[in-house]
Amino acid sequence: MPLCAELYQKQAARLGLDELQMYDEALVYPNGNATPIGSTSELVEKARNMYHELSPETGEFFDFMAEYELFDLETKPGKHMGGYCTFLPNFKAPFIFSNFNGTSADVDVLTHEAGHAFEAYYASRHLPLLELVHSTSEINEIHSMAMEQFTYPWMDKFFCERADEYRYAHLCGTMTTIPYLVAVDEFQHKVFENPKMSAKERRAVWHQIELDYLPWRHYDGNKFLSEGGFWMQKQHIFLYPFYYVDYALAQTCASQLFIKSTKNHKEAWDNYLALCSMGGKYGYFETLEKAGLDNPFKEDTVKKVVESIRGLIDEFEAKLNK
Ligand SMILES: [Zn+2]
């Protein structure tokens, strides 16, 4: 939280604002966030080159995806919204679905969803049973979130002269999302402990949680949101109870791989391949240990990760201001 508060303060200064409003939080730069250059097919081709340069394993994987047309990326009239990666077990083939919209989210699909897809491709060729290919989401999201960061060096391909801006914004985002992720979890604990709460009481609970975890949040005088109505926009609370915090656990581990990659890329990549080859074969703690990752539930893990990421954010920022 102290790091996030600082990052938001710097963002407000960059945007020339005294106070960030909710709708400003996503705007990192006054001239707009960095957007990728190229059509969908050009972005896929750039991704293919990138995965060939990253490793033989990812190169082979992406060729397979391209050869069998395992993408549906373009936005079309009447198409279902959203983006995800799924798996066709009979063909040991991942499939990536998305709605490209010309923002950096398109690149996130080619890294995040491709991270899930790579794991499915790789694990299904390393494990004897397809039932073992996937783990639970606090592991599965490490596959995808780590890939978002392993691919930083190739972001020049997608963002050209704004690549450093993308990398800085993305790295800050890995930290600034965490307080919200855990706030959603804490809210659900309180709601399930007290099922008879009124709608107003639930809003009061969310409002208090926001004061604790998101003290930088301002709703520009909107009464409903300022009194705690914001919790309702998170569909996970309605559809997938207690799932959202998994992203925070996964990010804490993905960050460890990223930190390691800045010191020793080979060791970090070997850890990542080991992680992907295990799929869901082992339990959570055993999987982390075999992949060389510190357990996020251990008291000093978050502290160590945040301290290192803070240093890297400072480095990225210095590069940006050069
Ligand atoms: Zn994911």
Instruction: State the burial class of residue 282 (Cβ atoms within 10 Å of its Cβ: 0-12, 13-18, 19+).
Output: middle
Minimal CA–CA distance to 295: which of 179, 143, 277, 304? 304
How many angstroms does the Cα of residue 116 sit away from the middle of ligand 1?
A: 7
Residue 322 in this model has a pLDDT that exceeds 90: no
**Cα Rg of the chain (Å, integer):** 20
Minimal CA–CA distance to 254: which of 170, 319, 189? 170
Read off the pLDDT of each residue in 213-236 and give the average, rounded to a whole number.
96
pLDDT digits (tens, 9 = 90+) for 76-117: 999 999 999 999 999 999 999 999 999 999 999 999 999 999
pLDDT digits (tens, 9 = 90+) for 258-311: 999 999 999 999 999 999 999 999 999 999 999 999 999 998 999 999 999 999
Are 216 and 124 found together in one domain? no
How many angstroms does the Cα of residue 208 sit away from the middle of ligand 1?
A: 29
Are 271 and 137 found together in one domain? yes
How many angstroms does the Cα of residue 222 sit away from the middle of ligand 1?
A: 32
Query: Strand ranges (DSSP E) for 4-97?
Result: 71-72, 84-88, 93-97
Long-range pairs, 79-83, Cβ under 8 A, ≥24: 83/109, 83/113
Are 106 and 254 found together in one domain? yes
How many angstroms does the Cα of residue 151 sit away from the middle of ligand 1?
A: 16
Q: Extract the tokens encoding 51.
A: 């995965």
Q: How far apart are CA 301 and CA 299, in angstroms?
A: 6
Whichever domain contains 58, its CATH number is 1.10.1370.30
How many angstroms does the Cα of residue 190 sit away from the middle of ligand 1?
A: 26
Tell me which of 217, 239, 261 is where a domain ends: 239
Kindly report the number of other CB atoms within 10 A of residue 49's CB atom: 13
Are 82 and 190 found together in one domain? no
Are 270 and 225 found together in one domain? no
The partner residues of 126 in beta bridges, in order of sequence, read none
Instruction: State the burial class of residue 139 (Cβ atoms within 10 Å of its Cβ: 0-12, 13-18, 19+).
Output: buried
How many angstroms does the Cα of residue 209 sit away from the middle of ligand 1?
A: 25
CA 70 to chain centre: 22
Are 96 and 215 found together in one domain? no
How many angstroms does the Cα of residue 128 sit away from the middle of ligand 1?
A: 24
Q: Specify the number of domains making up the chain.
A: 2
pLDDT digits (tens, 9 = 90+) for 33-90: 999 999 999 999 999 999 999 999 999 999 999 999 999 999 999 999 999 999 999 9
Minimal CA–CA distance to 135: which of 277, 315, 37? 277
Are 231 and 282 found together in one domain? no
Are 113 and 231 found together in one domain? no
Q: How far apart are CA 76 and CA 295, in angstroms?
A: 42
Are 142 and 23 found together in one domain? no
Are 134 and 262 found together in one domain? yes
How many angstroms does the Cα of residue 206 sit away from the middle of ligand 1?
A: 25
Are 44 and 95 found together in one domain? yes
How many angstroms does the Cα of residue 179 sit away from the middle of ligand 1?
A: 18
How many angstroms does the Cα of residue 197 sit away from the middle of ligand 1?
A: 32
Are 164 and 272 found together in one domain? yes
Tell me which of 209, 224, 239 is where a domain ends: 239
How many angstroms does the Cα of residue 112 sit away from the middle of ligand 1?
A: 6
Tell me which of 193, 219, 239 is where a domain ends: 239
Residue 252, domain extent: 40-175+245-320
Q: How far apart are CA 27 and CA 14, in angstroms?
A: 10
